[in-house]
Structure 1
Amino acid sequence: MVVEHFLEIVGINKSFGSVQVLKTCSMTVAAKETVVVIGPSGSGKSTLLRSINLLEPVDSGDIFFAGENITRERKKAHLLRQQIGMVFQNFELFAHLSAVENVMLAPMKILGVSSADAHDIAVDLLRKVQIPEKADAFPDELSGGQQQRVAIARALAMRPKLMLYDEPTSALDPEMIREVLDVMAELSAEGMTSIVVTHEMGFARRAADRIVFMEQGEIIESASSDQFFGGTVNDRARRFLDQILH
């Protein structure tokens, strides 16, 4: 079977009580593509990511991952999350574990990897996110940027096919943002399929293949990065972009 789209979202709707936060949202993501999702606060961006990872069940519509309809596979959600890594705004590291132990944990507990092999994987990944010297440091001994890079390494330890980032730099001081974005951009350049919710337009220009603009629960615009920043976007997206860039 030929999989046309690595990820395909077809008309999903999601409400919390009387508030509809996703309104017939549809989008596709190709393998090795980096899609940046932007939009004002409350537009549904985080709920979209959480729906893809089955952290939030949708009310209607379908989500296809690698050709399989995963929308209602709640019982298999833990298996799906082995293939879809997610990095959140808050780092959510285990405070009592060192950086290398945080990265080792999931491969050992979920994949059954031996302690020695998990240690080798974790050390390699900490090198990949450019903090190998912090392997034995505990979270409270790390800067926010370093903690977020450990969180990225932890997600990568499960060898995901897709990475989701939910505003991964929003909790960081400005001087720490670049170090995290550099790691994310490098992963994208290496071909990691990624969906990134962010307000960092510099990263979007640098790393995104495509920009998706959301407003009030709807996907309003989906365009290549060149098209989006080149000015061929609709009025609502252009107004948002003008506000965030000036």
Structure 2
Amino acid sequence: MKEPKLIEAIGVDKQFGDTKVLRNCSLAVDVGETVVLIGPSGSGKSTFLRCLNLLEPPTGGDVFFEGRNITSDLRHADRIRRDIGMVFQNFELFQHLTAAENIMLAPMRVLGLCTADAHDLALDLLKKVHIPERSDHYPDELSGGQQQRVAIARALAMRPKMMLYDEPTSALDPEMIREVLDVMAELSADGMTSICVTHEMGFARRAADRIIFMEDGAIIENANAADFFGGLVNERTQRFLDQILH
């Protein structure tokens, strides 16, 4: 029997009032695959990402995770989000907690880890994102890049099966972008299934298996990375690429 995709969206629509934000969006992602979503502002990229882990329940269509329709019963949305880590534009760290404490919180409250085990996990994850020496620092003592790496470690602490990134470097100064992208690329190389909304084409070249181009709430290009950067894309996608690469 053919293995199901790790996550698959079929004909997803999203409407806010009279405004249709997503139109018949379909995407299937294999285990271990890294997919990058690009497109102009307002094209629906972030909304589509949030529909995949039910932060925004789709208005129409279905999302399957490990072969199970997760849109059929939204009462299980919290359980689904344990398996799908998400990193946002803004770091969303608790300012009164240290880096380690931010990472420890969910494993203790949700997974039932004791303090010692959660602390060991936090230190291991801070090593993974290359800032173990910052474990006792508070967010206002960290650079933006360090805060985002703590946010990535916090998402990893729930042992997710895949990661979603919503423009994770858009709030960072240019010199801090690389350190965050390096961590994301390392996670992809280690086999973490990932979907990332970003305009960082260097990261897409380095880490992506596929590139999705969205416009006006629809997916208009779904290409493997080699074809995408080799120019085997439609005219509209090429115009967008020309704008952001030059």
Query: How does the TM-score come out when normalised to structure 2?
Result: 0.99
1:216 aligns with 2:238: no
- Structure 2 residue identity aligned to 1:26: S
Rounded Cα–Cα distance in structure 2 between residues aligned with 1:16 and 1:241: 29
Q: Aligned residue for 2:179?
A: 179
1:107 aligns with 2:107: yes
- Structure 2 residue identity aligned to 1:21: V
Rounded Cα–Cα distance in structure 1 between residues aligned with 2:22 and 2:226: 26
Matched residue of 1:40: which SS?
coil
Rounded Cα–Cα distance in structure 2 between residues aligned with 1:41 and 1:53: 21
Superposition map of 1:21-36 within 5 A: 21-36=21-36
Superposition map of 1:1-246 within 5 A: 2-246=2-246
Q: Residues 66, 134 of structure 1: CA spacing in aligned structure 2 closer, same or farther, 3 A cutoff?
A: same
Matched residue of 1:28: which SS?
strand
Shift of 1:201: 0.3
Shift of 1:72: 3.0
Q: Deviations over 1:98-126 (max 9, x none)?
A: 00000000000000011100000000000
Matched residue of 2:159: which SS?
coil
Task: Give the gaps of 5 or more residues in structure 1.
Answer: none
Shift of 1:5: 1.2
- Structure 2 residue identity aligned to 1:147: Q
Shift of 1:18: 1.3
- Structure 2 residue identity aligned to 1:36: V
Task: Give the gaps of 5 or more residues in structure 2.
Answer: none
Shift of 1:3: 2.7
- Structure 2 residue identity aligned to 1:5: K
Rounded Cα–Cα distance in structure 2 between residues aligned with 1:38 and 1:163: 17
- Structure 1 residue identity aligned to 2:5: H
Shift of 1:2: 4.2
Q: Deviations over 1:39-74 (max 9, x none)?
A: 000000000011011011111111000010001331
C-alpha root-mean-square deviation of aligned residues, in Å? 0.7
Rounded Cα–Cα distance in structure 1 between residues aligned with 2:214 and 2:84: 22
Matched residue of 2:195: which SS?
strand
- Structure 1 residue identity aligned to 2:72: R
Rounded Cα–Cα distance in structure 2 between residues aligned with 1:231 and 1:176: 30
Q: Deviations over 1:131-185 (max 9, x none)?
A: 0000000000000000000000000000000100000000000000000000000
Q: Following superposition, which runs of at least 4 residues in structure 1 exceed 6 angstroms of deviation? A: none
Q: Deviations over 1:216-246 (max 9, x none)?
A: 0000000110100100000111000000001
* Percent identity over paired residues: 70
- Structure 2 residue identity aligned to 1:241: L
Rounded Cα–Cα distance in structure 2 between residues aligned with 1:172 and 1:59: 33
- Structure 2 residue identity aligned to 1:123: L
Query: How does the TM-score come out when normalised to structure 1?
Result: 0.99
- Structure 1 residue identity aligned to 2:154: R
Rounded Cα–Cα distance in structure 1 between residues aligned with 2:46 and 2:141: 29
- Structure 2 residue identity aligned to 1:17: G
Matched residue of 2:82: which SS?
coil
